[in-house]
Chains A and B, each alone.
Chain A
Amino acid sequence: AQSVTQLGSHVSVSEGALVLLRCNYSSSVPPYLFWYVQYPNQGLQLLLKYTSAATLVKGINGFEAEFKKSETSFHLTKPSAHMRDAAEYFCAVSVPNQAGTALIFGKGTTLSVSS
């Protein structure tokens, strides 16, 4: 069975600082990995995805993530935080098979950005 662990339920950074949100996964087969962002009172928006191509994945809004198989990690980074990045971020894993491709989500990390 697949699972996702997001380290740190709350991360606070200053505007312009590096953003690092941690995600570790568990999967017995090569997984697909995703990062979603949820702004208050909104649905989830896909930031980026890893599907076994390049290990460094670039997403929207300046975010990127690196798949590290040896560390079973898929951490999300952004070089310089903006106030508008304040939101909740979810890491998710799926293993596509004939039975379906449900996303298994981590518990989420709330990012706060201060001026």
Chain B
Amino acid sequence: DSGVTQTPKHLITATGQRVTLRCSPRSGDLSVYWYQQSLDQGLQFLIQYYNGEERAKGNILERFSAQQFPDLHSELNLSSLELGDSALYFCASSLDTHNEQFFGPGTRLTVL
């Protein structure tokens, strides 16, 4: 158990819909990262937050957005969902921006 929690574990929805994935970092960690894992793209970095502020952006689509709240939990919002958005979404956290990242168990999103 890494100490990073993600909810829900599974999510099944339809094209065009909007979903919210939630992540609670390890106690004391200030930095949160979101990654997408799919068969064709592999593991890709989406976005990073540090202490409530966006720190870095990767291959995140405009239909996707994220935020980190004052209690340091983070949410990833995916809208206008397409079949290709079906993937495992991982959240990771680290103490600050220079430490190793600990990964949560992931949320498996299926778009039908």
Contact = CB atoms under 8 A, between A and B. Distances in A.
B25 to A, nearest CB: 13
A44 B4 CA distance: 11
Interface string B86-112: 000010101001101111111000000
A100 B50 contact: yes
A85 to B, nearest CB: 19
- Interface of chain B: mostly helix, strand, loop or mixed: strand
Interface of B: 2, 4, 31, 33, 35, 42-45, 48, 50, 55-56, 58, 90, 92, 94, 97-98, 100-106
Interface residues of A, number: 21
Q: Which of A42, A103, A106 has the most CB of B within 10 A?
A: A103
Contacts of B56: 99-102
B97 A100 contact: yes
A105 B42 contact: yes
